Amino acid sequence: MQKQPTWRSDKYLQFVREQDCVNCGKPANIDGMDAHHITGMNLGKGMGSKISDSHVLPLCRSCHNQVHSNKTLVDQQRHALLMIEKALMAGILTVK
């Protein structure tokens, strides 16, 4: 089985960084957000590969550090899918 290419989009990552933190609600205009790549849930991460840019969500630096230190963030996948939907509605992503 051929490995599927990983989707990359700097434009989408920038869009995600302009959104409020999905964990604590901190507004993006205060310090900016990180585009956190969701790991686990069989989303394709393996040795030498990175999760697709479509599986990211905005987190403030504090929440991002918390996620990486204790691996807890409720409903990551739902938030990522909502972010994709928001980008589609804003015209950042288009469907062919």
Question: What are the boundaries of each domain within the chain?
Answer: 10-89
**Residue 35, pLDDT above cutoff 80:** yes
Report, as an integer, the average pLDDT of 30-58: 73
What are the structure tokens assigned to 37, written together? 């790549």
Most confident by average pLDDT, 14-23, 31-40, 78-87: 14-23
How many angstroms separate the CA atoms of 57 and 33, rounded? Answer: 9
pLDDT of residue 91: 87
End-to-end CA distance of the chain: 25
